[in-house]
Amino acid sequence: MVNVKKGVLVTSDPAFRQLLFHLDESRQLGSKFIVRELDDTHLFIEKDIVPMLESKVEQIMENMNPETNDNK
Amino acid sequence: MSVSSSSAPSEAPANTTGVCSSRHSCLFLDFLMTIKPKDRQRMLQKPSCSFFIYRMLPAIAQQVTIQLIWKGSFPKADDVELTKSIEEQVELLLKLGIAHKATDGKLTIDNDYKRSYMYAAMLGAASISSLVLETNNEKRRGKDVEKKAVERWDCILRYLALPSEENTEAVSDTTKDLFRKANFTSGESRIEITTFGFQFLLLSPVKQMWTYVIEYLKLEISKGNDIVEVIEPLIQIVLLANRVKVAGFKAEKECYQIDEQWTQPQHDLLNHLRELGVIFIRKRKDGVFFLTQLLTHLATNETIDDTSSEKASNGKVIVETNFRVYAYTSSLLQLAIIALFTEMTYRFADMSVGMITRESVRGALQHGITAAQIISFLRANAHPQCVATSGPVNCLPITVADQIRLWEDERRRMDLKDAYIYSHFESDDEYHGVVRYAQERGILLWANPQQKLVIVNEEGHEAVRQWYKRSKGASGDSGAGTSSA
């Protein structure tokens, strides 16, 4: 019998995919969320985690970015 | 062909500029596709409506319509690309119910449409309207009507951009209701602008006005009012737009009678158009209304408005390569819109200075405004001198435009789509069956033959389930195509 699961398809570049792996393995969002590793640019993840993941990613990207407007 | 061009010479300039638009994006036509086929058919029977629909059609669709009306067929193009764009627009005509496809694939024009269009084309735009023109000397429009009209429209935009006490009082309850229903604002007592509201503010005036009118019509439908009853007077008024231009100073004296026989929804429409500023009613008891220049916005085919010269001439924004923005305006509305994505630093009586920073643009992006919208807004509102020296595209420095796009891209590292994943297929046939079906329906997002996984989008799940039901019923093989529900 065929299995069906609801979730979210993530399309990203390979580098970003690694970041998602890291978040998944280190359980920074409280639990694992990757359902399937599809290929280099696609992942299938849990739907419930999306809002938390988005804010976490935003925060990480923000930390990595140098202040661009401090010379004003 | 020659007959149509001689009967409606006033349309010619508007149409020729629209040639480049291979894809239609006309709000009015899109709306027309969503209403009930029965109502649409009734509209096609009205000469004024059919004439107006014709005007709003993209150029190729207009050609096809004319050929179908007069010759009953239209010539094939020998160019592959051209054939494709013709097919696209024929599709549009089919959807609108203007043309029908017979079982043998032959295209015919809708009889109602043909009759009403020909009737309208013979008489001309102004005479098909049932509105009664009244030329008189006592009732004058007054000098500053045009200015007042623009103020009215600004009032509505200001309500969205700066929802303060004073601005809230200036708009009618219907407008507030309309914005809430259209999802432009949220919250009951203290209103807040939503993503869609922001996007609305950045649209060109023509698109804004059409969006507003379409939302109004949707509201009428949701109230259960007869939509044709409202659209017909609306279109008749819009068709008069040429009068404003042609009549010139005579427009001062030209007014139209408000028929007491009109139904309540029709009176409501009139009141609404008055609020928008497209018509002017001095006093209700005069029983007449005047037209204003703003009406031409509604008469413009929106697909061609991006190059409108009117906008280019009143732009007031200068953007420098160092991301500084100078806005030579005292209009609170304009400043509020600019402040959506710039950090304002100085404010003088007639000009303001700001900086486009990463933070400010990100703030706008977080509100759901796209980089493309910001860029097109800055280009559309560029100071005439910028346009004169560097052209309509480069009036916004390329570095700035690129940087705004980069800021948007850095937020879009991942693309999320709600989906369903199918795994553990029983056989190869089953896997290939699902993939083929999903591909045909355009719902397939991802599939891999090695892992035997299929991902379809959220809407597609139901379709795949139906497919399973059917293929189970039809002895395993999928290609049977029995539509027994």
Predicted pLDDT of residue A64 = 75
Read off the pLDDT band of B245 (50, 70, 90). low
Mean pLDDT value of segment B240-265: 70
Which residues of chain B make contact with A12, given a CB cutoff of 8 A? 413-415
Q: What is the pTM of this model?
A: 0.66
CA distance B160 to B453: 47
Among A1, A3, A5, A9, most B C-beta atoms within 10 A, so best to mutate, is A9
Predicted pLDDT of residue B23 = 44
Q: Do A12 and B419 touch (CB under 8 A)?
A: no
Q: H helices within B349-446, ranges in order?
A: 358-366, 371-380, 384-394, 398-411, 428-441
Lowest mean pLDDT among B77-81, B99-103, B446-450: B77-81
pLDDT digits (tens, 9 = 90+) for B171-222: 778 788 888 888 888 776 667 777 778 778 877 778 888 888 888 888 888 8
Read off the pLDDT band of B165 (50, 70, 90). low
Q: Which CATH architecture has domain B419-473?
A: 2-Layer Sandwich (3.30)
Report yes or no for ipTM above 0.85: no
pLDDT at B474 over 50: yes
> Which of B181, B219, B216, B221 is CA-nearest to residue B197?
B181
Predicted pLDDT of residue B401 = 94
pLDDT digits (tens, 9 = 90+) for A33-58: 888 888 888 889 998 888 888 888 88
Predicted pLDDT of residue B24 = 47
- A48's CB contacts (< 8 A; 6+ apart) are none
Predicted pLDDT of residue B5 = 36
Predicted pLDDT of residue B307 = 44
pLDDT digits (tens, 9 = 90+) for B102-151: 777 788 888 888 888 888 888 876 677 767 777 665 656 666 777 788 88
Among A4, A24, A64, most B C-beta atoms within 10 A, so best to mutate, is A4
> Which of B133, B437, B113, B422 is CA-nearest to residue B256?
B133
Predicted pLDDT of residue B482 = 35
Q: Do A8 and B422 touch (CB under 8 A)?
A: no
Read off the pLDDT band of B1 (50, 70, 90). very low
Which residues of chain A make contact with B353, given a CB cutoff of 8 A? none
pLDDT digits (tens, 9 = 90+) for B28-62: 888 888 888 888 888 888 888 888 888 888 888 88
Which residues of chain A make contact with B359, given a CB cutoff of 8 A? 69
The beta-carbon neighbor of B445 closest among A9, A13, A57 is: A9
Which residues of chain A make contact with B425, given a CB cutoff of 8 A? 2
For B476, which DSSP code?
T
pLDDT at B355 over 90: yes
Q: Do A3 and B420 touch (CB under 8 A)?
A: no
Predicted pLDDT of residue B172 = 79
CA distance B116 to B101: 20
pLDDT at B386 over 90: no
Find the residue in A nearest to B449 (Cα). Answer: A38
Q: Do B421 and A11 touch (CB under 8 A)?
A: no
Q: Do A57 and B413 touch (CB under 8 A)?
A: yes
Return the domain boundaries, chain A.
8-64
Q: Do A8 and B417 touch (CB under 8 A)?
A: yes
Find the residue in A nearest to B434 (Cα). Answer: A2
For helices B227-239 and B37-45, the axis angle rounded to 10 degrees is 40
Q: Do B421 and A36 touch (CB under 8 A)?
A: yes
Find the residue in B nearest to A44 (Cα). Answer: B421
Asked if A64 reaches chain B (Cβ–Cβ under 8 Å), the answer is no
Read off the pLDDT band of B320 (50, 70, 90). very high
Predicted pLDDT of residue B467 = 83
pLDDT digits (tens, 9 = 90+) for B412-471: 778 888 899 888 888 888 888 888 888 888 888 888 888 888 888 888 888 888 888 887
Q: Do A4 and B421 touch (CB under 8 A)?
A: yes
Specify the higher pLDDT residue, B66 or B294: B66
Lowest mean pLDDT among B286-295, B317-326, B415-424: B286-295
CATH superfamily of A8-64: TFB5-like (3.30.70.1220)
Predicted pLDDT of residue B384 = 86
* B301 touches B26 (CB < 8 A): yes
Read off the pLDDT band of B342 (50, 70, 90). very high
Q: Do B446 and A38 touch (CB under 8 A)?
A: yes
Find the residue in B nearest to A55 (Cα). Answer: B411
Predicted pLDDT of residue B13 = 34
Predicted pLDDT of residue B366 = 81
The beta-carbon neighbor of B415 closest among A4, A12, A72 is: A12
Mean pLDDT value of segment B268-290: 80
> Which of B181, B202, B191 is CA-nearest to residue B333?
B202
- B197's CB contacts (< 8 A; 6+ apart) are B160, B179, B183, B184, B185
Of the segments B136-140, B160-164, B310-314, which one has the largest average pLDDT value? B160-164
Asked if A35 reaches chain B (Cβ–Cβ under 8 Å), the answer is yes
